[in-house]
Amino acid sequence: MNNSPKKKIEALREELNMHNYNYYVLSNPTISDYDFDLKLKELSSLENQYPEYFDPNSPSQRVGSDINKTFKQVTHKYPMLSLGNTYSREEVEDFYERVQKGLNSDFEIVCELKYDGVSISLTYIKGELIQAVTRGDGIQGDDVTANVRTIRSIPLKLHGNDFPDEFEIRGEILMPWSVFDQLNKERADQEEQLFANPRNACSGTLKQQDPKIVASRKLDSFLYYMLGENLPTDGHYENLLKAQEWGFKISKATKKCKSLNDVFDFINHWDIERKNLPVATDGIVLKVNSLTQQRNLGFTSKFPRWAIAYKFQAEKALTRLLSVSYQVGRTGAVTPVANLEPVKLSGTTVKRASLYNEDYINQLDLHINDWVSVEKGGEIIPKITEVDLSKRDLFGEKVQFIKICPECGTLLTKGNGEAIYYCPNDTECPPQIKGRMEHFITRRAMNIVCGPETIEQLYEKGYIRNVADLYTLKNRRDELISQLERWGEKSTDNLLNSIENSKSVPYERVLFALGIRYVGETVAKKLASAFHKIDFLINANVDSLMQVDEIGDKIAQSVVKYFSEEKNIVIIEELKKQGLQFELSEDIISKQTDKLKGLTIVISGTFEKHSRDEYKAIIEQNGGKNSGSISSKTSYILAGDNMGPSKLEKAQKLGISIINENDFLELIK
């Protein structure tokens, strides 16, 4: 008798999971909504009666719980990289030819629709959903498992028994147009701010603290990539077919192509048909089908070489230019923004568009009240592309770029050969001060749990005037709680704890966080590797900086200028006192060698022991320089299988040594 309730619960769960799959994935319900609800109520009643049989993957949990929670950060087992974007058929052809040259063998391309939603990574162990994590910054994301459990097209338990013990599957969480329209209608009725587009609405929904709200929003999904150690096949497309058998919702538009003509046929078809889909799309993704070939092609620092996104041509709309305003960024760069008569474009209302710089404004010959064509570059950032001169208002004033900073009144400057104006008053200009602090706290920099609104509030109240002031806030905890709007103990402690935790952020990220002009993440890593302590970097001159790989005169001058200013040194000294990391760890330093110092190495072909990207990292770690092309300055060519014939011919012509991976590994042993 004791097993009877358990068996009944398990049977109901299995039956309801199948009905969910039939309804939400196959679109082929085999039971009425009324009968489904009766069975779901029966299951919920039994689970309440026998709480010892609770299962987070039960169909009853689809409605979400009342538990309010904050999202914890989870590091991705496999980084979630973005895709390189293309906007023309020629670029698609270039990608195809690059793959052809890189592999030097037959290959297939899988074409998929690029859905405009929120990227998600789902982990399954023994057929059950264990964790759902957003893309975040690609390295780590938010754990939104409780919310994702409410999405009925995502299986909580898989069908069959031939799936790997553990694997990851990635895809897109979406809000259908019909749900989006209804949601905005409800918000309008309640006089709440409307969502701009389905993607924003979906992202906001997935970050709700109450899973019940998420459940009510009727989000959908499409899954498009599987990762793991023991996948069913070497084919990406074939793995998707298996995933479909296990209960995942896979787009029926996915197609395997054997030629470039097949790819273009797919693009031509969906460029028109996409407008009839129930969800938003913004392009097509092309992927090499073979996982082995994907590994051989490897990655650049940002994108996989075996995949690319083709963006549909942007929609255009005609509207009127009302005015031009100017924004000052953290580096002092002044950016003009067009304020437009609101117009619908790609499902969103556009009121503003970028004008880039003075040259762009002059090129368009813009006048106030001009009728202008607006489009979205890649359907994301609105921009003005042309002026309809036939509609020009004769009394419209010509747009002239400002000469005085709109924030602090300082005369703007522009360097020789540069298109951008800057406000040089970086110590007193509020947007620059706040912008540097906003950059400092970002995930890729110091990862402090704080948004621009909080920085604005802290600045306006006089609590912070530079980044070092953030580390003194711990002494004013009670004051913050009492003086700042909508701040309580929990939110204050979250901020203070994340500020304290940021003291363990490694040196190269601290260097990036300082916001030195032209010093991005990659340059910061190069500088940290070459100058192990901040003191060495502070005392470096232009010549010594230019000895570092990828550091040119422009970056070197900027770094020297930054450290020549006393106020920056004062802030760094204060940050040192607070315990921030301003030197490389001994572990990283111990792994660096100069075995390849002065050597320039070109990598060609495919390898067995390491990927091309791993070999590039090894070369840099040992003091060498990577190059993508062969020249008289090339020291070696690290050659794997299928080395390109043109590279081989050029190497032989120049008399450059060719070594295999065994020789190379022996060289650095």
Q: What amino acid occupies position 143? A: D
Write the DSSP assignment of 171-187 as a string of letters: EEEE--HHHHHHHHHHH
Q: Is the per-residue pLDDT at 369 higher than 80? A: yes
CATH number, residue 533: 1.10.150.20
Mean pLDDT of 392-417: 91
Kindly tell me the burial class for residue 434, based on how many C-beta atoms sit within 10 Å of its own C-beta (0-12, 13-18, 19 or more).
buried
Query: Helices 260-273 and 89-103, interaxial angle, to 10°?
Result: 150
Q: Is the per-residue pLDDT at 265 higher than 90? A: yes
pLDDT at 379: 41
Residue 622: pLDDT band (50, 70, 90) is: confident
Give yes or no for a contact between 477 and 490, defined as CB atoms under 8 angstroms apart.
Answer: no
Q: Tell me which of 360, 391, 422 is where a domain ends.
A: 391
pLDDT at 181: 82
Higher pLDDT residue, 265 or 587? 265
Please report whether residue 75 resides in a domain. Answer: no
Q: What amino acid occupies position 209? A: Q
Kindly tell me the burial class for residue 27, based on how many C-beta atoms sit within 10 Å of its own C-beta (0-12, 13-18, 19 or more).
exposed
Q: Are residues 324 and 302 in the same domain?
A: no
Angstrom distances, CA of residue 419 to CA of 39, 175, 382, 383, 600 = 67, 40, 20, 18, 34
> How far is 316 from 56, CA to CA, in rounded Å?
47
Other Cβ atoms less than 10 A from the Cβ of 173: the count is 27
pLDDT at 511: 96
Give yes or no for a contact between 372 and 356, defined as CB atoms under 8 angstroms apart.
Answer: no
Mean pLDDT of 277-296: 92
Residue 34: pLDDT band (50, 70, 90) is: low
Active site residues: 114
Give whichever of 235-244, 311-320, 490-499 has the largest mean pLDDT: 235-244
Please report whether residue 248 resides in a domain. Answer: yes
Please report whether residue 137 resides in a domain. Answer: yes
Summarize pLDDT for 84-102 with one digit per residue, the tens: 878 888 999 999 999 999 9
Residue 192: pLDDT band (50, 70, 90) is: low
CATH number, residue 36: 1.10.287.610
> How many structural domains compose the chain?
6
Q: Which residues contact 313 (CB under 8 A, 6 or more apart)?
A: 87, 271
CATH number, residue 650: 3.40.50.10190
Q: Are residues 489 and 440 in the same domain?
A: yes
Summarize pLDDT for 550-588 with one digit per residue, the tens: 788 989 999 999 999 999 999 999 999 999 999 987 777
Mean pLDDT of 342-348: 75
Please report whether residue 307 resides in a domain. Answer: yes
Q: Are residues 265 and 288 in the same domain?
A: yes
pLDDT at 6: 84
Q: Are residues 233 and 304 in the same domain?
A: yes
Least confident of 27-41, 212-226, 334-348, 552-566: 27-41
SS3 content of the chain, % helix, strand, coil (to 5): 40, 20, 35
pLDDT at 642: 66
Q: Are residues 498 and 525 in the same domain?
A: no
Kindly tell me the burial class for residue 269, based on how many C-beta atoms sit within 10 Å of its own C-beta (0-12, 13-18, 19 or more).
middle
Give yes or no for a contact between 495 and 454, defined as CB atoms under 8 angstroms apart.
Answer: yes
Summarize pLDDT for 527-546 with one digit per residue, the tens: 998 899 999 999 999 999 99
Mean pLDDT of 373-396: 80
pLDDT at 66: 35
Angstrom distances, CA of residue 533 to CA of 507, 527, 539, 581 = 8, 10, 10, 9
Q: Are residues 487 and 636 in the same domain?
A: no
Mean pLDDT of 579-598: 83
Q: Which residues contact 257 (CB under 8 A, 6 or more apart)?
A: 108, 109, 110, 111, 263, 266
Q: Is the per-residue pLDDT at 346 higher than 70? A: no
Q: Are residues 242 and 292 in the same domain?
A: yes
Q: Is the per-residue pLDDT at 64 higher than 50? A: no
Higher pLDDT residue, 213 or 20? 213
Q: Is the per-residue pLDDT at 67 higher than 50? A: no
CATH number, residue 323: 2.40.50.140
> How far is 288 from 234, CA to CA, in rounded Å?
11
Please report whether residue 415 resides in a domain. Answer: no
Give me the chain's average pLDDT, please: 87
């299928």: which residue's tokens?
642
> How far is 661 from 596, CA to CA, in rounded Å?
15
Q: Are residues 559 and 440 in the same domain?
A: no
Cα 15-16-18 angle, rounded to 5 deg:
70
Please report whether residue 409 resides in a domain. Answer: no
> 44 is in which domain, residue-wise?
3-63
Two tokens, residue 640: 């794997």
Q: Tell me which of 332, 364, 391 is where a domain ends.
A: 391
pTM of the predicted model over 0.75:
no
Sign of the alpha-carbon torsion through 429, 430, 434, 435: negative
Q: Tell me which of 276, 311, 346 is where a domain ends.
A: 311
pLDDT at 628: 73
CATH number, residue 290: 3.30.470.30
Q: Are residues 100 and 166 in the same domain?
A: yes
Q: Are residues 178 and 233 in the same domain?
A: yes
The two most distant CA atoms of the chain are separated, in Å, by 90
Give yes or no for a contact between 638 and 603, defined as CB atoms under 8 angstroms apart.
Answer: yes
Please report whether residue 636 resides in a domain. Answer: yes
Q: Are residues 606 and 580 in the same domain?
A: no
Give yes or no for a contact between 223 and 250, defined as CB atoms under 8 angstroms apart.
Answer: yes
Eight-class DSSP state of 63: G
Q: What percent of the chain has pLDDT above 90?
A: 47
Cα atoms in the 13 Å half-sphere on the side-chain side of 627: 17
Q: Is the per-residue pLDDT at 28 higher than 70? A: no
Mean pLDDT of 594-611: 83
End-to-end CA distance of the chain, in Å? 67
Pick the closest to residue 499 from 551, 570, 462, 446 (CA basis): 446
Q: Are residues 359 and 278 in the same domain?
A: no
Q: Is the per-residue pLDDT at 348 higher than 70? A: no
Higher pLDDT residue, 660 or 193? 660
Please report whether residue 595 resides in a domain. Answer: no
pLDDT at 253: 93
